Amino acid sequence: MNQVVSDHPSIPLIDLDAQPRVEQIRQACLSAGCFNVKGGGLNDRVTRDLLEKMTGFFGLPDNHPIKQAVHRNQNSGANGWSPMLEEPAYEAGTIAWVESFDCVLSRERLSRLPGELQEKVVPSIWPEISRFRDTVRIQWDLLISAAHGLYPLVSCLLKQHPGFLAEHASSQALNTLRLLNYPSRPQSDDERSRGISAHTDFECITLISQDAPGLEVQTPSGKWIQVPVEPGQWTVLLGDMVERWSNGVYKATPHRVPTTSWPRRSIVMFVAADSGCSVEPLDEFVTASNPAKFERMTQDELIRMAMARAESNRLQMAPEIQKLRSAINRD
């Protein structure tokens, strides 16, 4: 793992309440590869409330009935709780030290989708913890509102009319909200250990909040920088769909989390293109000197392909993972 990381990153801050300009987004994406946002309805009190609920849930023993009832295996493997060491390996030969809880759009929102879309979404399951679901749903709605505030800017970044992204990413059918719990790990961890290994996200944009340092992003110049923790701010990463639409002009943001000597928690919203939406380089980005770099692919296909590759990587590490799990159980 490349350990050359800047301690003093320069990640632009965009105030969603101050009529941000497309040029601000463009410069941020070309220089840092990401940007931070505040405003736009984002509410730090809601985020703190959710972090408190996460602490209560993740603090339960793995064999606790509340956790076992929402194990993703109880829900067709689609969403729910994933214990430590079950995260797919986005880099071959790595092991992820992270525990997660995933959810999708609400049943009420799901019921308003066309029947063929409803069939593709496995509804969320929820732990029996007071106001856990309600707090997650409030956070979901605030993040969707903030994302919609970014849609016109990203659309213009892609040289399209302001409603372009809303036309291609409105159903929320493939969106996922992830709650992540990273344990403290000894500094002597071997080279295979990660919080989460380096990868890009498969969707359009990602919004991330963290309660302690750990997230690192790679700039377009190839430099890894640490993302600072700023209350009330969320980090926005570009996803693979934006890179494909722009024919590589705007890169999806590589990011990773190393193991740390302190525990940390993170809230992540993946904002996806609509199911069945075919994405290929837009004409405005295809030239004789920059021919099309990507074939047409739907959001669904890209997610399936990338997750299958990552899960295959994890299965190759199964013997090592089992040894670690046995050691945890002995402790």
Report the length, in residues, of the chain. 331
At residue 259, φ and ψ (nearest 5 deg) are: -70, 145
Contact status, residue 23 vs residue 14, Cβ threshold 8 Å: no
Contact status, residue 223 vs residue 280, Cβ threshold 8 Å: no
pLDDT of residue 281: 98
Contact status, residue 158 vs residue 216, Cβ threshold 8 Å: no
H or E stretch at 25: helix 22-31
CATH code of 317's domain: 2.60.120.330
Q: What is the dihedral of CA 318, 321, 327, 330, to 10 degrees?
A: -60
CA 188 to centroid of chain Cα atoms: 28
Looking at the structure of the chain, the number of domains it has is: 1
CA 305 to centroid of chain Cα atoms: 17
Q: What is the chain's Cα-based Rg?
A: 19
Residue by residue, pLDDT tens for the chain (331 residues) are: 545 565 545 899 999 999 889 999 999 999 999 999 999 999 999 999 999 999 999 999 999 999 999 999 998 888 999 999 999 999 999 999 999 999 999 999 999 999 988 998 999 999 999 999 999 999 999 999 999 999 999 999 999 999 999 999 999 999 999 999 999 998 766 789 999 999 999 999 999 999 999 999 999 999 999 999 999 999 999 999 999 999 999 999 999 999 999 999 999 999 999 999 999 999 999 999 999 999 999 999 999 999 999 999 999 999 999 999 888 777 6
Q: What residue numbers bound the domain in which 255 lies? A: 5-330
Q: What is the dihedral of CA 17, 35, 177, 168, to 10 degrees?
A: 80
Count of other CB atoms within 10 angstroms of residue 296: 11
